[in-house]
Amino acid sequence: MQLNTKFLPVSPEELDGAPDFVYVNGDAYVDHPSFGAAIIGRILEHNGFSVAMLCQPDWRSTEDFKKFGKPRLGFLVSSGNIDSMVAHYTASKKRRSEDYYSPGCKAGLRPDRAVIVYSNRIREAYGDIPILIGGLEASLRRFAHYDYWTDSVRRSILVDSRADILMYGMGERSVVRLAKLLDKGVPVKKIRDVEGTAYLCKKGEKVMFECAEGYDDEGFPVGYTYDELKSDKAKYAKAFKTQYFNNDSIHGKAIVEYYDGKMLVVNPPSAPLEREELDEVYELPYTRTYHPMYEKDGGVPAITEVRFSITHNRGCFGGCNFCAIAFHQGRAVRSRSIESCVREAELLASLPDFKGYIHDVGGPTANFRKPSCDKQLKDGICKNKRCLFPEPCKNLKVDHSEYIELLKAIEQVKGVKKVFIRSGIRFDYLLADKSDEFFRKLVRDHVSGQLKVAPEHCSRNALRYMGKPSVDVYEAFRKKYYELSAEYGKNQFLVPYLMSSHPGCTMDDAAKLAVYTKRIGLAPEQVQDFYPTPGTASTVMYYTGLDPFTGKAVYAPTEYREKQLQRALLQWRKPENRGKIFEAMKYCSDEGKEDLRELVGGGKPSSDNKKKNQERKKNHYKASGKAGKGRKQSGTHKL
């Protein structure tokens, strides 16, 4: 593995004639494999195509889009590493003041709905030229989708962008195949058989793959119309279920939607890259930093956390309902070889600004290296089962041995002082391991003072709709984590991510979570309000009030004030939130009111917490050597 000193062209002067592709990107140009634009640009270069990078162009006119002239094969368009609306707005729809993917963290350098805006400017400049859209924003909006910012169901982004082809998921396979077909002179309107892509055509055109919903009496593929999806919430939820369970390269089928006289066809997904292919992608020659043209503005902050991190896997079979990974990368886990990751560590250690610390060896979920079971390799991901929820599947293969081997190998690289793990650890998967070797190694060697984990909630009701395990599992993990930290003489902490206002979470549930934080001595400074983004089952619940997997009704807190109150309960220690606690009581049952009275003093805990608090009292008295029965309470012994 070698470090590249040459970026892809960013000006016409760096090119010898017109490029094959112009890549229009909503992020600043960072040539690092944690950035999708860098991977796509380098893999096209590796396959013999020239790519010019047009990053954060001025979209108010066509001038910047003409910078390189007309490309030989077409334009590639992406909003960047994240959805442009998420980049611009908080969960409360307030405009963000910073953009970590822009030079100097400056906001406002890309438009809202960047893929649509960029594509339409290209059409205005060049007319009928091939436009291929991709990246996270396009991937998660490939179907008609609920849009939180307008509170409406929007059309597929392919319709509104007027692009020719949409690439979804991890696009290495599809972009190379499309490039080769275009290079052979195949008209873009004739390209219909590339997996991992979507296209628009006339109703009645033959679909190249088997369709998920079959065919009607006239031979047309069965699918919902856009008018049905935007007006019928039950159909919208059913459509998502079909989309979700066909996002598998082995058993997935094509899905269609109808827009007036046109048919949207979403082909089955591409197969995930296997180990040797992933190695090749991550060992392409990257400069591994931002372009020097941004130096005067202070650089691009997004590189900071990933510059000395190693991505070792893709995909996640965790299946959290609020996470879009299953709809984008997919649930089929693949990983790089140990040798490839070691070569990357050696490269990082050779960089002049390397201080000896690998910040992360992770991915979507750090402790996944292989598919969850052997069956997946032949039959694909189970349609009606989850690997870890509500409990680990009996066929789940839990084995951290290769991950341990990987970490040990990186630790032996000359110049490496410490290897940290900062990606999400799936603690239920960890606890399912009969061996505690990885747990011990994690605590002993790979925690930088605090470990971030994601229990998200404590209420069984809320966790059920999140697709997360019982809080008892987190409690078992938390207990052993602190026991091992003490055993190794480590003063280490857990930082649990908690979420308010998720579908299924009532004010009673929020009250339970608030009392839970008090019991474990947690004072969260930051709380994540549920953010309804395209491509997640939780967003479907938020919009439709239905669980898409069961069709049953689910309560969803959608009113702004209720969301504010649920958030305030999690930060009940703040004096300014005390009044909100009393306001929240109006929305609670008697049991919930009791929980909230405990927060403000003088109340009794609900039955869910009584037993736990009694146990804590017992342990307290036992530790102090005093009998609990009949003991007089004093202010110094409040629990």
pLDDT tens digits for range 328-366? 999 999 999 999 999 999 999 999 999 999 999 999 999
Q: What is the mean pLDDT of residues 576-593?
A: 94
Q: What is the mean pLDDT of residues 259-281?
A: 97
pLDDT, residue 602, reads 56
CATH code for residues 12-196: 3.40.50.280
> What is the separation of C-alpha 157 from the centre of its chain, rounded to a whole number of angstroms?
19
Q: What is the mean pLDDT of the chain?
A: 92
Q: What is the mean pLDDT of residues 228-244?
A: 98
pLDDT, residue 608, reads 47
Q: What is the mean pLDDT of residues 423-452?
A: 96
- Please name which of 413, 275, 311, 399 lies closest in space to residue 357, comparing C-alpha atoms: 413
Backbone angles phi, psi at 472, to 5 degrees: -60, -35
Task: Count helices and strands (H / E) in the chain.
Answer: 24, 21
Q: Which two tokens stand for residue 430?
A: 């960890």
Q: Which two tokens stand for residue 437?
A: 């070797």
Q: Quickly state the pLDDT bin for 629 (edges 50, 70, 90).
A: very low
pLDDT, residue 384, reads 83
Q: Which two tokens stand for residue 488?
A: 């190794």
CATH code for residues 450-621: 3.30.750.200
Which residues sit opposite 314 in a β-bridge? 334
Least confident among 19-33, 339-353, 357-371, 625-639: 625-639
| Whether pLDDT at 614 is above 80 | no
Q: Which amino acid is at 151?
A: D
H or E element in which residue 258 lies? strand 255-259
Neighbours of 476 (CB within 10 A): 14
CA-to-CA distance for 547 and 559, rounded, in angstroms?
Answer: 19
47 contacts 179 by C-beta, under 8 angstroms: yes
- Please name which of 76, 529, 31 lies closest in space to residue 302, comparing C-alpha atoms: 31
Q: How is residue 459 annotated by DSSP?
A: -
Q: Quickly state the pLDDT bin for 410 (edges 50, 70, 90).
A: very high
Q: What is the mean pLDDT of residues 38-56?
A: 98
Burial class (CB in 10 A: 0-12, 13-18, 19+), 115: buried
Q: What is the mean pLDDT of residues 56-72?
A: 97
pLDDT, residue 623, reads 38
Q: Where in the chain is the domain with CATH 3.30.750.200?
A: 450-621
Give the β-pairing of 334-335 and 313-314.
antiparallel
The residue length of the chain stands at 639
Give the β-pairing of 450-456 and 165-167.
unpaired
| Whether pLDDT at 633 is above 60 | no
Per-residue three-class SS string for 572-622 = CCCHHHHHHHHHHHCCCCHHHHHHHHHHHCCCCCCHHHHHHHHHHHHHHHH
CA-to-CA distance for 447 and 418, rounded, in angstroms?
Answer: 10
Q: What is the mean pLDDT of residues 455-464?
A: 95
pLDDT, residue 210, reads 96
pLDDT, residue 4, reads 85
Q: Where in the chain is the domain with CATH 3.40.50.280?
A: 12-196
CA-to-CA distance for 381 and 325, rounded, in angstroms?
Answer: 14
Contact residues for 556 (Cβ-Cβ < 8 A; gap 6+): 503, 504, 541, 542, 545
CA-to-CA distance for 438 and 492, rounded, in angstroms?
Answer: 17
> What is the separation of C-alpha 28 from the centre of its chain, rounded to a whole number of angstroms?
20
556 contacts 322 by C-beta, under 8 angstroms: no
Q: Which two tokens stand for residue 375?
A: 């069956």
pLDDT digit string, tens, across residues 486-514: 999 999 999 999 999 999 999 999 999 99
Angle at 443 between CA 442 and CA 448, to 5 degrees: 90
Quote the percentage of the chain above a pLDDT of 90: 89
Contact residues for 359 (Cβ-Cβ < 8 A; gap 6+): 305, 306, 307, 308, 309, 420, 422
Q: What is the mean pLDDT of residues 634-638?
A: 26
Q: What is the mean pLDDT of residues 218-230?
A: 94
Burial 486-518 (b: 16+ CB within 10 A, else e): eeeeeebebebebbbbbbbbbbbbbbbbbbbbb
Q: What is the mean pLDDT of residues 237-245?
A: 97
Contact residues for 200 (Cβ-Cβ < 8 A; gap 6+): 158, 159, 259, 262, 263, 264, 265
Q: What is the mean pLDDT of residues 559-579?
A: 93
Q: What is the mean pLDDT of residues 387-405?
A: 95
Place of tokens 């016409």: 12
pLDDT, residue 611, reads 52
Q: What is the mean pLDDT of residues 241-247?
A: 96
> What is the separation of C-alpha 497 from the centre of its chain, rounded to a whole number of angstroms?
14
Q: Which amino acid is at 399?
A: D
What is the three-class DSSP state of 21?
strand
CA-to-CA distance for 601 and 486, rounded, in angstroms?
Answer: 33
Contact residues for 48 (Cβ-Cβ < 8 A; gap 6+): none
CA-to-CA distance for 621 and 632, rounded, in angstroms?
Answer: 12
CA dihedral over 81, 86, 87, 88, signed as positive or negative: positive
- Please name which of 381, 398, 388, 558 lies closest in space to residue 463, comparing C-alpha atoms: 388
Kindly calculate the radius of gyration of the chain based on its CA atoms and give it in whole angstroms: 26
pLDDT digit string, tens, across residues 185-221: 999 999 999 999 999 999 989 999 999 999 998 888 9
CA-to-CA distance for 89 and 97, rounded, in angstroms?
Answer: 9
Q: Which amino acid is at 315?
A: G
Q: Which two tokens stand for residue 461?
A: 């009701």
pLDDT, residue 636, reads 26
Q: What is the mean pLDDT of residues 425-446?
A: 97
DSSP states of 466-503: HT---HHHHHHHHHHHHHHHHHTT---EEEEEEEES-T
Contact residues for 316 (Cβ-Cβ < 8 A; gap 6+): 323, 325, 326, 329, 331, 333, 364, 365, 368
302 — alpha (psi -120 to 50), left (phi > 0) or beta?
A: alpha
Contact residues for 237 (Cβ-Cβ < 8 A; gap 6+): 540, 544, 546, 547, 548, 551
Q: Quickly state the pLDDT bin for 523 (edges 50, 70, 90).
A: confident
195 — alpha (psi -120 to 50), left (phi > 0) or beta?
A: beta
Q: Which two tokens stand for residue 440?
A: 């011990």
